[in-house]
Each structure stands twice: as C-alpha cells, then as structure tokens.
Structure 1
Amino acid sequence: MKTLIDQIGATHTFENSPQRIVSLVPSQTELLYELGQESKIVGITKFCVHPYHFKSTKKLVGGTKKVPYEKIRLLNPDVIICNKEENTKEIVEELSKICPVWVTNIITVEDNFQMITDFGQLLNCRTEAQKWNDKLAFALSDFQNFIKDTPIRKVAYFIWKKPYMVAGSDNFINELLKLNHFKNIYDSKGRYPEVAIEEIVQDGDPDFIFLSSEPYPFKKEDGYEISNYTDKAETILVDGEMFSWYGSRLLKAFDYFKMLHRILEK
C-alpha cells in the first residue's frame, strides 16, 4: 500500500504498483515507454505518435479532448495518466469513476523533473526515472552553458491560424523560450491569446516569428502571409514537439535548440 500526491495536489492510494496504464497525453506516453513501461500500457490516444509502433500494438482511445469512457473502462486500467492542460477537469472527474487518474501539471523544467520522479514512485521504476533525470540535468546544464552569451531576442510563437493564436505566459512553451534567451512579446496577454496579425509590430515588433508544426501545421506559405505585416522579423518554421512536449523529449529538444540557434546566427 502506498499513498502518493500528483501535481494538482490530489492524493491517490494504491495497494499495488499499477500494471495496466491508459495514457491520454502523447508526450507522457513517450516518457512511459522510455521508462520501460511498454508492457503495462494498454491504451493511448490517436495523437500518441511516439514510439511509432504503439499505434499498431496499443488500443487507441480517442484524443485528448474527446474521450470514449466506455472503451477505456473495458481496458480495465489500474491508472489513467492525464495532464491539467491537455485534459479538462470534467474529463478527469468522469475518468475517476473508472480508476485513479494521475494528473500532471508541467509549466517549468523543474515540474518536468518532478513528473519523472513521480512516475518512478508510482510505477516502481525509480532507477530508470533517476537515470532520465540525471541525463536531462546534464543536458540542461550543457545547454545553459551553450546559451549563456547569446543575446535576448524578441519572438512571437504562433500555435494556431483562423484565428491566429500564440503561446503567451504560464506555459511550458514560454518557459523554453525563456531558457533559449527569447523574449516572448505576448507573455503579458494570457496563456494562449488570440492576436491580430496586422498589429504584430505594435504588439512588440519581434526579431523572429516562430510558426509551430503543432497543433496547427504551419507551412511556408503561412510565413509569407505573416511576413507582410512586419518589416524586420524573420519567419521560421519550428518543430512544435521540441517546444511543447515535456518528459523524455526534452533531451532531444536541447540538441534541436542548439541547431536552431546556429541557423538564427547565419
């Protein structure tokens, strides 16, 4: 019997370590795999694209916002893994009628370390969790050394079109922007504000406009359209997974960020 507290402060008691897991968060599905939990995962969302083979070996249970409760119930899970941002409070409450729902809340890199530690305790894989935290801590330190002399540059990070939406403050994307010495021109507008593209110069006149590959898959043509509203900003397509996926993906993100900065320096 063990009692643990998740990242929204909910207390959970387990007689045994969970053996049947449903994960409703793509980045956390990838993390669970990296922690050696593949055999325990019985259900994932259609957006859980890493590792690739899961889509043919695991039961697909909808998305992150539309959840087939009966299909999940029939999988007889011991725990369901959710996230405060990805899954609504109503979804979590309904899923709690099936089994314990472990909710993560990742805003900072420190939150990411805590999530991995928590999974180690929850799923009895403390050694693997510690190995991953050690790797991430080393990579973080290395990246901070890489970035230390890079000047602060103003950016806008677009996540959606029609309407245009950007990453604002109090989210993981903004934390990674800050880590990269990027000043988010929309960090005082809320978490994911709608913006008027024709007002981007007045809003902060960024040096770079980042167009994410997800959730909206921006293309080069979108960059041409947006560039009509600014004289100086360079428009760049960026890998949304690297800026918004937490968990083990962060290790690859640090290498990606180094590559991105080398491109921006040219």
Structure 2
Amino acid sequence: MKQKTLIDQLGISHTFEITPSRIISLVPSQTELLYELGLESKLVGITKFCVHPYHLKSTIKPVGGTKKVHFEKIRLLKPDIIICNKEENTKEIVEELRKICTVWVTDIITIEDNFRMISDFGQLFNCRTEAKKWNDKLAFALADFKNFIKDKTDGNSWQKVAYFIWKDPYMVAGADNFINELLKLNHFENVYQDQGRYPEVDIKTISLIGNPDLVFLSSEPYPFKEEHALEIKQYTTHAKTFLVDGEMFSWYGSRLLKAFEYFKKLHQEL
C-alpha cells in the first residue's frame, strides 16, 4: 500500500507505511465493531470486558481492563496499533501506550461521531467496503427509528428521565456524552443535563431536581437490581423505575443497530 496519513478523533495525525495487522483494542464496543468489520484475525489483544462476541474471550489475549492495563503483556504482543477511546481510557494510559506503538484514539459523543469512527476504521484497516455497509445499515436504521419516535411522541412533551450509572456514590449521566445523545434521540429530557458529564447525586433530592417521569437504572457499569429500584422509588413522587440494558445506551459502533430495535421495545413497555 502507499503511505497514508490519517487523523484520529483527537485531531492527531498518524502516518502508516503499511496497513496495521496486529491490533489491540482497549474498548469493548470497538472490539465488537472490529469483529463486525471482519478483522477478528488481526486482533491480538482485548480487555477482560470485551464480551461481544463471547468467543473472543477464549481466543484472544486479555491485557487488563479499560482503566488498568498490563503494559508488559501489550509489549510482548508486538502490536502495530492500539485502539483507545478518550472517555474509556485515561490520558496517562494513552501516553504510556504511545511508547509501544501507534495509538488511535476515538471520541464518540454524537451519532455522527460514530459514523466517522466506522469510516476511519475502514480506511485505517483497508476494509472500506465493510465499513460502508455498516454505515449504510446504521443510517437506514436511524432514519427508521426517527420516524418511529416521531409518530410515537409527536405532539407530546418529552418525558423527563434520570439515567443512573453508578452506586456508592450514586452517579447519573449528565450532558456531553453518548448516553445523553441517545436519550435525546428517544425524545427523553435528561433532568441532570446541566450538572456536568457524570455528576454525583443525592437520591433524596431526586424529586426536587427535575422531578423525572422515568428513572432508568443501567446494567453497566454498575449492575443495578430491583432492590436499588425500590430504594430510589421511595424518594420519587411519581416516577416509574426501569432496569435498562446499559450496552444499548452506551455502546457505540455496530451495537447501535441492535439498540434501535431495543429502544422500540422499550417505548412499547413505557
């Protein structure tokens, strides 16, 4: 291949003499995307949280988590490129990894960012046809969902929602993140969207701050259960509480295709 220069989502320029063929992915949703783009044979390292598709856990070397990685294990795998994400992996980790090889960092806030990431991977790994197929599928599914949600909520005010991601301390999704973008896509108004990206909250004041119609308790990163729903419910005046699939609201990449169908079923339950 000819030498090519590509710019990642942090605006950093990378020059490649050959197509990278030994990939380490430190983001579960991006591992799934790389698999869907036909790159399984090039994956040499993943995190312990890379659970889709499930068989990768037994066939590809784990190199730690997203916030704590084993640098020596990564060195020994001799990667050509390491795929990271601005939110999932710390700046310190990324800087240390740059001593090993090229580190490509994604930054996904909007659905448009997701389309760009897929196109970038198509160019980066010489799988443009597969990347275009995925972007076409996602664009079609997005248009279909926008029609669905318009019909579902047309003329009605948006329901107010609080989306919990953590306990001890309780934390919620605020603004400027992918979760909030998907809440907006679903015509939900996030009652914590002016309090930072992932604010800590006091559940005793939940009715005072926005008084949500719905409380969503995510399955990840904290695995909320019914007992937590009961605990929070005693501090709300009228909110319905739901356990929701965190992957559908927070995983970008190819998982978004399944998310659109999940959201339709969720609205039917609501």
Hey, what does 1:186 align to over in structure 2? 192
TM-superposition CA deviations, 1:37-61 (whole Å, max 9, x none)? 0000000000000010000000000
Could you tell me how far 1:231 is from its partner in structure 2?
1.8
Write the distance in 2 (CA, Å) between the matches of 1:95 and 1:121.
Answer: 22
Map 1:108-119 onto structure 2 (within 5 A).
Answer: 108-119=110-121
| Aligned residue runs from structure 1 range 81-92, under 5 A | 81-92=83-94
Give yes or no for the alignment of 1:175 onto 2:185.
Answer: no
Q: Give me the TM-score of the superposition, normalised by structure 2.
A: 0.97
CA drift of 1:82 comes to 0.1
| Residue in 2 that maps onto 1:5 | 7
How many residue pairs match? The answer is: 264
The structural deviation recorded for 1:216 is: 0.2
Alignment deviations for residues 56-94 of structure 1 (CA, whole Å, 9 cap, x no partner): 000000000001111101000000000000001111110
**How far 1:36 sits from its partner (Å)?**
0.2
Residue 27 of structure 1 corresponds to 29
Alignment of 1:16-55 (within 5 A): 16-55=18-57
**1:215 partner amino acid:** P
- Aligned-partner Cα distance in 2 for 1:221–1:202: 22
- Letter of the structure 1 residue corresponding to residue 237 of structure 2: D
Candidates 53, 58, 64, aligned match of 1:56: 58
**In the TM superposition, what whole-angstrom CA distance separates every residue of 1:231-252 from its partner, at most 9, and x where no partner exists?**
2000000000000000000000
Gaps spanning 5+ residues in structure 1: where? none
Q: Secondary structure at the match of 2:206?
A: helix
For 2:171 and 2:91, locate their aligned partners in 1 and report how far apart those are by CA, in whole Å. 23
What are the Cα deviations for residues 84-107 of structure 1, in whole angstroms up to 9, with x where unaligned? 000011111100000000000000
Amino acid at match of 2:250: S
Q: Distance in 1 between matches of 2:61 and 2:237?
A: 49
- Which of 117, 136, 139 is matched with 1:137 structurally? 139
Q: Secondary structure at the match of 2:260?
A: helix
Aligned-residue CA RMSD (Å): 0.4
Counterpart AA for 1:201 = S
Distance in 1 between the 2:66 and 2:24 partners?
Answer: 12
**How far apart, in 1, do the equivalents of 2:190 and 2:100 lie?**
41
CA deviation string 1:127-164 (max 9, x = no partner): 00000000000000000000013131000000000100
| Overall identity of the aligned pairs, in % | 77
Distance 2:254 2:143 in 1: 16
Aligned residue identity for 2:236: T
Q: How much does 1:189 deviate?
A: 0.2
Question: Which of 240, 249, 263 is the aligned partner of 1:257?
Answer: 263
Q: Which runs of 4+ in 1 moved over 6 A?
A: none
Q: Secondary structure in 2 aligned to 1:85?
A: coil
Residue 243 of structure 2: which of 237, 241, 252 is its match?
237
Q: Aligned equivalents of 2:50 and 2:16: distance in 1?
A: 26
